[in-house]
Amino acid sequence: MTITESQKVEIAENGFTTVNNIYTDEEIEQILWAINHANQTKETFRKSADLFAIRQFLKEIPEMRNLVFNEKLNNIMVQILGDKYFVVKSIYFDKPETSNWYVAYHQDLTISVDKKIELENFGPWTAKQNQFAVQPPIHILENNFTIRIHLDDTDENNGALRVIPQSHLKKVYRPETIDWTTEIETTCVVNKGGIMIMKPLILHSSSRTTNNKKRRVIHIEFSNQELPTALKWAERMN
């Protein structure tokens, strides 16, 4: 699987690109089977009428590593990331057909770490279910990448991400300061079995589902940055 030069440029300049046909229907069924047969009583599993999510996804379902990192994805990762990047976060989202779950425009400004300690230029901190997150120095976020694996056809009617191209180049960009006279919104349509590659600093949002179709996504973040000695990535995986 080869990614085009225009897609590489799109990631650098606009902050995102999409690549279809990474997973076959059979591969997706294997992924979904493993999810459905996992122990869902753990505190990293969150289930409600509007959302089913699994945090630390690759750690909680170890067999997922071989299923997710198939030959096509590995080839694309080498072309985009090289060999210096490693996994630092993984989440599974299942947005049900009747979901009214809406996410306003935001940047992904935090990273998942193993504990809370006082460090210069790290903060603010949050903690959910014994999982710690912190906003790191901006250079860490600028170098990170996110890959979103789509297990369903996803468009504007079932919560496809909407992004503001080039917003990842503006460091911390508060949603309340968006100038809609100059910014242009783009909806990232991705076919089942495709992926979206994005920079975490790109402003993005997600609408409510209106077409009674699922949107299941695996979200994996990558970094090539080492943290201060006293702090560790919560989910580091080479």
Residue-wise pLDDT for 195-232, tens only, equals: 999 999 999 999 888 888 889 999 999 999 999 999 99
Mean pLDDT of the chain: 92
- pLDDT (mean) for 122-136: 91
Q: Tell me which amino acid residue 117 is.
A: I
Could you give the domains of the chain?
5-223 (2.60.120.620)
* pLDDT for residue 51 is more than 60: no
Strands 86-95 and 186-187: unpaired
Could you give phi then psi for residue 40, rounded to 5 degrees? -95, 15
- pLDDT (mean) for 179-197: 96
Interacting residues of 219 by C-beta distance below 8 A, sequence separation 6+? 89, 90, 91, 92, 93, 146, 147, 148, 149
d(CA 209, CA 26): 26
* pLDDT for residue 49 is more than 60: no
* pLDDT for residue 28 is more than 90: yes
Tell me: the pLDDT tens digits for 54-75?
899 999 999 999 999 999 999 9
According to the model, what pLDDT value does residue 72 have? 96
- pLDDT (mean) for 102-108: 93
Confidence of residue 190 (pLDDT cuts 50, 70, 90): very high
* pLDDT for residue 96 is more than 80: no
Confidence of residue 97 (pLDDT cuts 50, 70, 90): low
According to the model, what pLDDT value does residue 187 have? 96
Q: Would you give the DSSP letter of residue 39?
A: -
Least confident of 3-7, 50-54, 59-63, 231-235: 50-54
* pLDDT for residue 156 is more than 80: yes
- pLDDT (mean) for 159-174: 96
- pLDDT (mean) for 20-42: 92
* pLDDT for residue 121 is more than 70: yes
Confidence of residue 50 (pLDDT cuts 50, 70, 90): low
Burial of 197 from C-beta contacts in 10 A (0-12 / 13-18 / 19+): buried
